[in-house]
Amino acid sequence: MKKIFTLFTLFLTYAFASAQCGYVIEMQDSWGDGWNGASIDVSVNGSIIANVTVSNVAGAGDTVSVDVLSGDAVDFSFNSG
């Protein structure tokens, strides 16, 4: 019974881990002063889950990671500043 439970647990761990996907958003700013109010909305399955930008503090660029599940509909929308 202990072996079956261990095997089942390993299977669930593998299935859950393989169902995740990730996006990396690398944002750049040529002047190094941020995006002046511009941003990117990240939507998953029609709901905005993140609004990312390069702030004045970040300067010339910033990187953000977004984790989603396999099969999710992901959309990126740029909002001008």
Rounded average pLDDT per 10-residue block, the chain, 81 residues: 48 55 87 84 94 77 87 92 79
- Model pLDDT, residue 17: 53
- Secondary structure element (H or E) that encloses residue 17, with its range: helix 2-18
The residue to which tokens 């099969």 are assigned = 71
**CA–CA separation, 23 and 44 (whole Å):** 12
Per-residue pLDDT, 58: 58
pLDDT of the residue at 51: 93
pTM score = 0.68
What integer pLDDT is reported at residue 16 of this predicted model? 54
The CB density around residue 49, as the number of other CB atoms within 10 Å, is 14
Using CA atoms, how far residue 67 sits from 1, 38, 39, in Å, is: 35, 22, 18
